[in-house]
Structure 1
Amino acid sequence: MTPLLDIRGLNAWYGPSQALHGVNLRIGAGEVLALVGRNGSGRSTLARALMGLVQCDGELRFRDRSLAGLRTFEIARLGIGYVPEHRDVFPTLSVGENLELGVGPGNSANRGRAPRFSIDDAYALFPVLRERRRTRAGALSGGEQQMLTLARALLGDPDLLIIDEPGEGLASLVMQQVAQCLRVLRERGMAMLLIEQRLVIARDIASRVAVMGHGEIVFDGELDAFVQRTDVMREWLGVG
């Protein structure tokens, strides 16, 4: 079966510095893959490469269509949502206005179906956003901004959601709310690339784990197999 996302021989650079070295990775429709590794291992660079934000070469295919040469908004319209690590909200706009900007023009129609997510769905997943819908996004807490960024990405109606460090800097209760949202998305059949330093949120959501080290995939297998590999966890995550 053709994978939803197929990455082969991906290299990426920041200027003269090479950050990814021949990365191979696949994600199937509806699959949740956790991508873990230490800071600087290349995880965020891989996400940025998928969205056309860094210089790269190799083969990137989504639904068997090449992403080469496409601009970020064109990649998003194909059905890839991106929640960056630093929660890029529009700080002077209200929560409601931020969400309205996430509604893609014709994204779902271009893929031959009705949209699966509405602003009401976003408010149902994150009730605090409804309560603060008239508040400027820049006045939200870090956890609320994370919820807003995730909800806005969903309004583009993606088939694959890339989420970079969803629990970074969040209080435990907020992290639990984000994790519950991701469980709901998994149950709805959304494929996800969940980037974490360790398996904080992904442990209960992902079925497969890939580990990055020095810009390469050093392990790729089922979650149950990964937790038995104390050698991999010790060498590449610093835990055992």
Structure 2
Amino acid sequence: MTALLAMRDLCAWYGASQVLHGVNLHIEAGEAVALAGRNGSGRSTLAKAIMGFVRTRGVIEFAGRSLTGRRAFEIARLGIGYVPEQRDVFPTLSVRENLQLGLKPRGMRRAPRVTLDDAFALFPALRERARTKAGALSGGEQQMLSVARALLGDPDLVVIDEPTEGLAGQVVEQLAAALKLLRERGVAMLLIEQRLVIADRLASRVAVMGHGEIVFDGPLDLFRHRPDVMHEWLGVG
């Protein structure tokens, strides 16, 4: 069976600087994969490569279609949601306007897995601040907004880069609940976390990056019994 997302011998560059050195990784439909690694290992670059933000060589396929050469909005319309580490909300637009930008064009819509009402139920703070400009939100509220906007695009796969970084415990729990809802509704997930704060509650598989390559890829239970991997590539142990 063809994987939902498949990367083979994937290399990527920022200018003349090569960051990814032959990444091989796949994600099946409905599967959640945690991507771990130290800062500078290439995790965020891999996310940007999937979304078409960096120069690449090699194979990136989604649902059997090549993503090479496609622009970010085209990739999003194919069914990939992206939550960047920097959140990237539109600061001069209201919360509601930011969320509406996440909706697919009318002609492309099916019955959505997550509705605007779902998003407000998951993140009550967004409902309360629906008319507030996104630039006036706290960091945690902006992260909620970024995640909710990605969900409203009705993706088959969502790529989430460091969703819990710098957030209070209560906000982390809300994010975990939102991502759990996604999993229950069949959305696949690439969850990038250095410390696996919530990934171990959501993912069935862990991939670890080091020096721009995948150095471990296996079930979560196996990862937990590999202190050598944790110590060498994550600095844990």
| TM-score, scaled relative to structure 2 | 0.98
* Distance in 1 separating the partners of 2:176 and 2:108: 25
* TM superposition shift of 1:187: 1.1
The equivalent position to 2:214 in structure 1, one of 214, 217, 228, is 217
CA shift at 1:189, angstroms? 1.2
SS in 2 for 1:10: strand
Alignment of 1:1-240 (within 5 A): 1-106=1-106, 108-109=108-109, 113-240=110-237
- Does the 8 Å contact 2:11/2:57 carry over to 1? yes
**CA distance in 2: counterparts of 1:224 and 1:43, whole angstroms:** 22
Contact 2:5–2:28, Cα closer than 8 Å, also in 1: yes
Give, as a single letter, the amino acid of the residue that structure 2 aligns with 1:119.
L
Contact 1:79/1:107 (<8 A) preserved: no
CA distance in 1, matches of 2:147, 2:161: 10
State TM-score, norm by structure 1: 0.97
Q: Deviations over 1:144-173 (max 9, x none)?
A: 000000000111110000000000010111
Give 1:120 shift: 1.4
Distance 2:25 2:101 in 1: 31
- Whether the aligned pair in 2 keeps the contact of 1:108 and 1:114 (CA below 8 Å) is no
Query: Could you tell me how far apart the structure 2 residues matched to 1:119 and 1:32 are?
Result: 23
Deviations 1:58-90 (A, max 9, x none): 000000111111111000000000000011001
Cα distance in 2 between the residues matched to 1:14 and 1:158: 27
Please list every run of 5 or more consecutive structure 2 residues that lacks an aligned counterpart in the other structure: none
Question: Which deviates further from its counterpart, 180-189 or 83-92?
Answer: 180-189
Root-mean-square deviation (Å): 1.0
**Structure 1 residue 103: deviation in Å?**
0.8
**Residue deviations 1:96-121, cap 9 Å, x none?**
11111111214744xxx322222112
SS in structure 1 at match of 2:164: coil
